[in-house]
């Protein structure tokens, strides 16, 4: 294992990594993530998710990598009403810049697969949670504020649904996919997209109640309207993933949150 600090938007840094390691498989999970921050700092999303991803694709082209696996996002589905979300659904109406950059990644990867024969697989992650997650994610900030006795903001007055997916299921999905190049489509292009989600949307208020029960503290709540760029629901159709790899995420929210809270208590000594 080797850890290098760098920025995907730095072309030379990306090229150095490829030259040093000459990977056969490249898994790109690096990005500027999050819907709400994209409203505050849109340039960061273009630099990392568009320019950075372009630098990765160019390095892949030059170094003849066998398979690219990259993180897309459930946000590409926007505010569509049809559920569950299928990879065959139209995703041409993103409601945040973050979502637009992830759709852009899928288009760029397909183009490089078509032009240069780079096999690539995009994974649309659905509301990932678990230990060592992003502190700005709702489950993490809720936990932090509940322990501190601070008020949590409940968007859309709690009328939201998320297909919460535990990190271990995400990792298992990535590992399942990375060792298998996608089959060529009818045009001969080796590019495929899969959903990785729990296939069980959870109401936000039920999620908070579960977290309160596990922690043993009732949250102080402020009910507020829907945030710009947010979506009402996420719900993954994982039938393609199950068909091709015999795998589907299945960690119940009670189990996943329990593991996260156990980690949080130990990590922060609370």
- CB distance 234 to 197 below 8 Å: yes
CA count, 13 A, side-chain hemisphere, 258: 5
Active-site residues, by number, are 98
Host H or E run for residue 101: helix 97-116
Q: Could you tell me which of 173, 90, 161 has the C-alpha nearest to residue 124?
A: 173
For residue 268 the two structure tokens come to 């922060």
Q: What is the largest CA-CA distance in the chain?
A: 57
CA distances from 136 to 19, 33, 103, 129, 179 (A): 34, 10, 22, 11, 32
Provide the b/e sequence for 92-125 (b: ≥16 CB within 10 Å).
eebbbbbbbbbbbbbebbbebbeeeebbbbbbbb
CA distances from 171 to 101, 125, 144, 161 (A): 22, 11, 25, 23
């Amino acid at each position: 294992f080797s850890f290098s600090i760098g920025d995907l938007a730095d072309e030379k840094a990306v090229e150095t990594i490829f030259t040093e390691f000459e990977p056969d498989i490249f898994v790109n999970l690096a990005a500027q993530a999050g819907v709400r921050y994209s409203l505050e700092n849109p340039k960061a999303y273009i630099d990392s998710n568009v320019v950075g991803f372009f630098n990765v694709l160019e390095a892949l082209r030059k170094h003849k990598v066998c398979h690219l696996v990259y993180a897309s996002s459930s946000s590409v589905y926007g505010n569509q009403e049809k559920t569950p979300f299928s990879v065959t659904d139209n995703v041409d109406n993103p409601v945040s810049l973050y979502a637009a950059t992830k759709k852009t990644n899928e288009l760029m990867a397909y183009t490089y697969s078509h032009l240069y024969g780079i096999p690539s697989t995009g994974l649309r992650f659905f509301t990932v949670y678990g230990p060592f997650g992003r502190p700005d994610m709702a489950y993490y900030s809720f936990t932090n504020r509940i322990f501190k006795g601070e008020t949590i903001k409940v968007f859309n007055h709690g009328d939201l649904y998320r297909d919460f997916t535990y990190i271990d299921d995400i990792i298992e999905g990535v590992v399942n996919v990375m060792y298998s190049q996608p089959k060529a489509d009818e045009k001969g292009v080796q590019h495929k997209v899969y959903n990785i989600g729990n296939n069980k949307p959870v109401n936000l208020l039920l999620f908070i109640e579960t977290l309160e029960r596990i922690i043993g503290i009732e949250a102080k709540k402020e009910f507020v309207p829907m945030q710009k760029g947010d979506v009402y629901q996420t719900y993954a159709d994982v039938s393609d993933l199950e068909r091709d790899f015999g795998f589907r995420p299945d960690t119940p929210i009670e189990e996943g949150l329990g593991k996260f809270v156990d980690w949080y208590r130990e990590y922060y000594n609370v």
